[in-house]
Amino acid sequence: METTAFFQSPYDITDEQVEAYRRDGYVRCDNVLTPEEVDALRAALEAAMERRDSFNRDLAGGGDKILQMLNLWEHDPVLKAYATSPRLAGIAQRLTGSEHLHLFHDQALVKKPGPSAASPWHQDQPYWPSKEAGMLSCWMALDDVITDRGAMQFIPGSHLWGEFDPVSFAGDGPQLNDMISDEQRALWNPVVEELPAGSCTWHHGLTFHYTRPNTTDQTRRALVEIYIPDGVTFAADEKMEHPLSDTITSQKGEPLRGTKFLQVA
Ligand SMILES: O=C(O)CCC(=O)C(=O)O
């Protein structure tokens, strides 16, 4: 397949998957990418990791335990084609019911073998500059992910529990366990989604999720795309700073837009 044809064809997400997303706050989509597309994304990601020319940091506080690299699409045409692809935009439209979608940002989240850390239970929405909930993430496995390599775990239905405070990925602040009610604790039934490379999960910004440290001898490379549906506005000073705060062009209360938030649908 020509590189230019990558990520163009639609993925036929079923009504049952859409229903599951709305009920559980996440959904699994198998075989969204072809093996050739996975290879192209892996090569692009490896090159980006070599260059380190995108915003990058260790989410666990140092030492590449959870390497995060943001807006890789700016430096690579394959990663841009993927982030803005009709395939992902089409799935996001179906899941959210939104006609229009903007890319908030992409991010690689890499857990290498060796010193690694858990991504603590958290929601995404508290870290985002958005007032309303509704933004969602596509978490794509570029390696086969099993529980001990850092497969995503979710609490089904937790997207209906409202917005909690952000937690520290370095584990030095309040953790979610201290914040949830006894009732919520009783409903705390994590589901692990082990995935082959090229399959993904989509999760709502309020859904609690977690991954274990990578204790295997193979790297875990995940590529995450975050989209903004219609109806989400800029919360300005009500929310914490984000690495992309400086690129936001909206005033408080206006639809969340920025110089780098590409329209994808
Ligand atoms: O990949 C991980 O370890 C965590 C992923 C995550 O928190 C996210 O995609 O929102």
Condensed to tens digits (0 to 9), the pLDDT of residues 133-184 reads: 999 999 999 999 999 999 999 999 999 999 999 998 887 777 787 899 999 9
CB 150 within 8 A of CB 209: no
pLDDT at 203 over 60: yes
Distances, alpha carbon 34 to alpha carbons 5, 24, 149, 155, 223, in Å = 12, 27, 22, 29, 15
Residue 71 Cβ < 6 Å to ligand 1 = no
Backbone angles phi, psi at 150, to 5 degrees: 100, 40
Provide the domain count of the chain: 1
Predicted confidence band of residue 2 (pLDDT cuts 50, 70, 90): low
Q: Is residue 3 part of a domain?
A: no
Q: Distance, CA 2 to ligand 1 centroid (Å)?
A: 31
Q: What is the mean pLDDT of residues 91-113?
A: 97
Q: Is 211 in the pocket of ligand 1 (CB under 6 A)?
A: yes
Looking at residue 247, what is its pLDDT? Answer: 98
pLDDT at 17 over 80: yes
**35-44, 48-57, 150-159: segment of lowest average pLDDT:** 48-57
pLDDT bracket for residue 4 (50, 70, 90): confident
Q: Which atom from ligand 1 is nearest to the alpha carbon of 118? A: 3
Residue 231 domain-assigned (yes or no): yes
Per-residue pLDDT at 78: 97
Determine whether the shortest distance from the Cβ of 210 to ligand 1 is under 6 A.
no
Q: Are 72 and 45 in contact (CB under 8 A)?
A: yes
Q: Is residue 150 within 6 Å of ligand 1 at its C-beta?
A: yes
Note whether residue 4 is domain-resident.
no
What pLDDT, on the 0 to 100 scale, is given for residue 111?
A: 96
pLDDT score, position 61: 85
Q: Which of 209, 212, 221, 227 to mutate to test the pocket of ligand 1 (most atoms within 8 A of CB)?
A: 209
Count Cα neighbours of 77 within 13 Å in the Cβ-side half-sphere: 4
Q: Is 124 in the pocket of ligand 1 (CB under 6 A)?
A: yes
Q: Does residue 259 form part of some domain? A: no
What is the SS3 assignment for 203? strand
CB of 139 shorter than 6 A to ligand 1: yes
> pLDDT at residue 1 above 60?
no
- Judged against a pLDDT cut of 90, whether residue 62 lies above it is answered with no
Is the separation of the CB atoms in 197 and 223 below 8 Å? no
- 60 C-beta closer than 6 A to ligand 1: no
CA 64 to centroid of ligand 1, rounded, Å: 15
User: Mutate which of 64, 107, 211 to test ligand 1's pocket (most atoms within 8 Å of Cβ)?
Assistant: 211
Domain-embedded: residue 114: yes
Hey, which residues does 201 pair with through a beta bridge? 28, 139
The percent of residues above 90 in pLDDT, for the chain, comes to: 90
Strand arrangement of the beta sheet that strand 152-154 belongs to: 119-122, 209-211, 152-154, 191-193
Does residue 153 have its Cβ closer than 6 Å to ligand 1? no
CATH (domain of 231): 2.60.120.620
Q: Does the C-beta of 109 come closer than 6 Å to ligand 1? A: yes
Confidence check: pLDDT of 200 > 90 = yes
260 is a domain residue: no
The average confidence (pLDDT) of the chain is: 96
Task: Give the pLDDT confidence score for residue 174 in this predicted structure.
Answer: 76
Q: Is the pLDDT of residue 99 over 80?
A: yes
Task: Please report the pLDDT score of residue 171 as a whole number.
Answer: 78
147, containing H or E segment: none
Residue 5 lies in a domain: no
Mean pLDDT, rounded, for 115-135: 96
Domain that holds residue 148: 15-247
Task: Name the nearest CA neighbour of 54 among 76, 70, 73, 77.
Answer: 70
In a domain, residue 80? The reply is yes
SS3 51: helix
